[in-house]
Amino acid sequence: MNKKPTIGDFAHLLTDEVTPEKYEVDLSRGILKADDPEDHSRLMQALQAMQMVQQVPALAPAPAVPQDDPTALRLGELLEKFFLLRKQLTQATAIAYKNCIGELSKFLKNPPITRVSSSDVSRYQEYLANKGNSVRTIDNKISIVRALYNFAKKQGYTRQDNPAENRALLTKKQRLKGGYAIFEKEEIELFFKSEFFKEQKTKDQDYTTAVILGLFTGCRIGEITSLKKEQFKVSSTGVNYISIRDSKTLAGIREVPIHPFVFNRIEDFIKSKTDKIFKYIEKDGKGTGNAVGKKFARNIESAGITREKLVFHSLRKFVNNELMKNKVSLEHRCQFIGHELDNVNVSIYTETISIDELAETVFPTFEKIFDLVKISLYRTEF
């Protein structure tokens, strides 16, 4: 392999080893003098050396090694700042953040947040995949990292680009397609007619009450199992409703009317409590609804329902779908279910729908669901 010439390779031609008095070179004045053929040969060698030296490229400066900002936070420290200013997070969400960032910090050997790059995020994704995590789970964890870095940029803890930005493995369409299924009417009927559900009415009222509320309010399982007695209220016109104060999103903070038949069915259970309605406790960061979710899966199996991706959240989807099919407006559905409504005209210039109007709008749909599961409006139990 040919080596590029350097100044040193020709230095001997420009030093005292060549007697300068024998020839003269003054390029600024255009003077080139030689006394004899030998002297002329030396002159030509000197000119060639000077030409080669001019052609040698300048040495590129060594790439600057990024220096750590001594004040930069570590991942764990950034998370503490995040929790300090995000007190509305549910316990389950906080634990999910703590577990994810703790795992990432350990994997990257606890670097300053300014040293985490997009390639580090890629390696973390591969690490999660090798541990057997699903693509959806990997995306969920990366979304936590992305949210934390967005917070860091907003608060001025870093000026660098978010290393987790645009790193989702699933498209929005794929996520929607791969999400939980919606119950079909026949499946709802099979579920509530099952021997398993009938047995649980006497064995486990916490479970059956949570399921009833799920079907007739569309609330998330965590919103239901974390309810306290003081959250059950009555409007000035006598409409019973639940005041949801802790939810996954800001839109989830809402008031949800309860049909009179449903409230009559659960009233004694509610009155028997002093504070927390349900027995479920937070476990392993999976929220208070984890136990209900597991029993719900057994209930589905016992009912002979074999379609995949049916979970407790499928009740919420069923309710929203039935409201839509019964011509309940988007505004009413979003307020009842607790979905964000990305429309300036509605979200800014429209007042919140009153609990009485909301009840009047959605109750007819639930009366059809009563008929579906063979429940008389005049009976006090299923």
Residues 128-150 pLDDT 10s: 999 999 888 999 999 999 999 99
24 and 126 belong to one structural domain: no
Quick one: pLDDT band at residue 379, thresholds 50, 70, 90?
very low
172 and 190 belong to one structural domain: no
At a CB cut-off of 8 Å and minimum separation 6, what does 274 contact? Answer: 229
Nearest one of 329, 338, 313 to 362, comparing CA atoms: 329
Give the angle subtended at the CA of 321 by the CAs of 316 and 323, to the nearest 5°. Answer: 100
Quick one: pLDDT band at residue 38, thresholds 50, 70, 90?
confident
Inter-residue contact 68 to 114 (CB < 8 Å): yes
| Residue 132 counted as domain residue | yes
Instruction: State how far Cα 186 lies from the chain centre.
Output: 34
Q: Which residue has the higher pLDDT, 290 or 350?
A: 290
162 and 231 belong to one structural domain: no
Whole-number pLDDT of residue 316: 95
| Residue 144 counted as domain residue | yes
Give CA–CA dist 138/125, Å, rounded: 6
| Residue 355 counted as domain residue | yes
284 and 168 belong to one structural domain: no
| Residue 21 counted as domain residue | yes
Whole-number pLDDT of residue 17: 47
| Residue 190 counted as domain residue | yes
pLDDT at 66 over 60: no
pLDDT at 18 over 50: no
pLDDT at 51 over 90: no
Q: Which two tokens stand for residue 174?
A: 């794929």
- Cβ neighbour number for residue 4 with a 10 Å cutoff: 9
- Cβ neighbour number for residue 248 with a 10 Å cutoff: 15
Average of per-residue pLDDT across 272-278? 93
| Residue 40 counted as domain residue | yes
Which of 33-37, 93-97, 239-243 has the weakest average pLDDT? 33-37
Q: What is the dihedral of CA 102, 108, 112, 118, to 10 degrees?
A: -110
| Residue 189 counted as domain residue | yes
Give CA–CA dist 202/211, Å, rounded: 14
Beta bridge partners of 244: 254
What is the number of structural domains in the chain?
Answer: 3
Average of per-residue pLDDT across 225-235? 95
162 and 279 belong to one structural domain: no
Whole-number pLDDT of residue 171: 81
The CATH number covering residue 334 comes to 1.10.443.10
212 and 357 belong to one structural domain: yes
Estimate the crossing angle of helix 185-193 against helix 195-203, to 10 degrees. Answer: 50
Q: For residue 332, give the amino acid letter.
A: H
278 and 339 belong to one structural domain: yes
pLDDT at 284 over 70: no
Which of 86-90, 101-105, 216-220 has the weakest average pLDDT? 86-90
pLDDT at 283 over 70: no
Average of per-residue pLDDT across 161-187? 86
Q: Which residue has the higher pLDDT, 68 or 234?
A: 234
Average of per-residue pLDDT across 282-303? 84
> 327-358 burial, b if ≥16 CB within 10 A, otherwise e?
ebeebbbbbbbbeeeeeeeeeeeeeebebeeb
Whole-number pLDDT of residue 7: 45
201 and 217 belong to one structural domain: yes
pTM: 0.65
Average of per-residue pLDDT across 244-265? 87
Q: Of 177, 201, 217, which one is at a domain's C-terminal end? A: 177
Mean pLDDT of the chain, nearest integer: 83
79 and 42 belong to one structural domain: no
Residues 319-356 pLDDT 10s: 999 999 999 999 999 999 998 876 544 554 457 899 99
For residue 173, what are the CA distances in angstroms to 135, 142, 147, 178, 179? 14, 18, 21, 8, 10
pLDDT at 121 over 50: yes
Inter-residue contact 39 to 22 (CB < 8 Å): yes
Quick one: pLDDT band at residue 16, thresholds 50, 70, 90?
very low
Q: Of 114, 145, 177, which one is at a domain's C-terminal end? A: 177
Q: Of 146, 177, 208, which one is at a domain's C-terminal end? A: 177
Inter-residue contact 285 to 103 (CB < 8 Å): no
132 and 194 belong to one structural domain: no
Give CA–CA dist 263/275, Å, rounded: 18
| Residue 380 counted as domain residue | no
Output the furthest CA–CA distance in the chain (Å, rounded).
128
119 and 46 belong to one structural domain: no
pLDDT at 154 over 60: yes
273 and 173 belong to one structural domain: no
Quick one: pLDDT band at residue 91, thresholds 50, 70, 90?
confident
pLDDT at 103 over 60: yes
Containing structural domain, residue 84 = 75-177
Whole-number pLDDT of residue 79: 95
Quick one: pLDDT band at residue 23, thresholds 50, 70, 90?
low
pLDDT at 301 over 60: yes
Q: Residue 115: how many CA atoms within 13 Å on its side-chain side?
A: 17
Whole-number pLDDT of residue 374: 67
Give CA–CA dist 322/309, Å, rounded: 19
